[in-house]
Amino acid sequence: MHKEHIFREYDIRGVYNTDFDNDFARQLGKSYGAFLSEKTGKTPIVTVGYDARLSSPQIVEALIDGFTSTGVKVYNLGLITTPMSYFSMFHMEDVLGGIMVTGSHNPPEYNGFKISMGKTTIFGPQIQELKNFINEDRKLTGSANVESYDISDAYIETNKKDFGTMKDIGVVLDCGNGAAGAIVKRLYNAMGINPTILFEEPDGNFPNHHPDPTVEENVDALKAEVVKRGAKIGIGFDGDADRIGLVDHNGRFILGDEIMMIVCRDLLQSNPGAKIIGDVKCSDRLYQDIEKFGGKPIMWKTGHSLIKTKIKEEKAPFGGELSGHIFFSDRNHGYDDAPYAGLRLIEILAKTGKTIDELLEGVPSSFNTPEIRLETTEENKVKLVKSLQDHFNSTPGDYSVNYIDGVRVSYKDGWALVRSSNTQPVITMRFESHTEEGLKRIQDSMMELVNPLL
């Protein structure tokens, strides 16, 4: 059983046992094996990993059964982070693809599948093509075995070679009871860092807070612990550890595009003129700051697979999203790895001896909202954005409009963004202006258009 809307732009995701069930997971294993075989001309070998969600073990069991019952060998990586799943594509030479079972930062009842083919993730038309394989029950014949494989030692050793021994500047980590708790203590200890760790035990009930550190209310405990211990940095991870949240030494919440500014200023010293990719939800301040420090900013569509692909196409050393997906192709493989991004930030702090607010010196003040999320239906979120696009197409005004991903309207003193989420039945919005009055005017004018459409 499955519903059509689980096939998103860059993954497969929905409410477990409502939008999809174990039979679907089994069918996915069968059909993805056939999909990989057709694309590569080989009998596939795959990796499977999973996050801390309560539904993940039974989903994985069905998924692996689908693979092995149709002749696809599986390396079961166990409870890992999504970045470790991506890492397996680069480390294990005989592997052609992999599936990470994860609900990421969604509520506990959600789960899903992030799917790798070769050294990248599939998205868009490839997701739709895979859906056709599933609906047509296309599969290979044969049988194969499953083998447990511990990827953690190789993952840690690879990072150790990159970073060496680091200065322990005072670090607090918040794992949010997600998959990060399975690796970050060993990883950071290997670099010489002895962090204070909050909510380390993986627990799919998420008893302490929702596993999304890019929402400020979810990092209250992290803020308090950083201030209490006099730490230089607080780092939060989402449920599968591909998204990062940040708190400075004063307990101030740092937005995703501000994290990017810290990295860009450092990277552009050694990569002058480099292209940097940001998503449409990032502030104008980011794009202006990249230019100020000699880089070439590129605004692109939101979505981890979309940004990864754009980084590869543009040969950019770095990119990111407001949502905390941070991608390093400089010294890394270009995928979103929050524990790795945390190490890069610690490295910058240790190298410069500066605090986070000092690293952001000169960034103009701004009045902005965090990402605002309004619930609607899967069908209406698409209709709503189309209605807004039609409105701005037919209504001239003192603004410019970018339709690359939803509707981003730029005024002389700020901007507004409305787009449909790729992962939930939600409309996401963000507003920014140079002044408080401007922010209110821009937000109110857009909401006058949005509210009747909800």
Gap between the Cα atoms of 200 and 326, Å rounded: 22
Query: CA distances (Å), 449 to each of 280, 389, 401, 408, in order?
Result: 20, 11, 15, 14
104 a catalytic residue: yes
- Total count of residues recorded for the chain: 454
Active site residue: 56, 104, 283, 421, which one?
A: 104
Cα–Cα–Cα angle for 327, 328, 332, rounded to 5 degrees: 130
E strand segments, 128-265? 146-148, 171-174, 196-198, 233-237, 244-248, 253-254
Enter the tokens of residue 399: 């603004």
- Taking alpha carbons only, the member of 29, 74, 78 closest to residue 51 is 78
CA distances for 230 relative to 43, 233, 355, 422, angstroms: 54, 9, 12, 39
3-state helix, strand and coil shares in percent for the chain, rounded to the nearest 5: 40, 25, 35
Which of 4, 13, 1, 57 is closest to 422 using CA atoms?
13
Q: What is residue 398's DSSP assignment?
A: S
Active site residues: 104
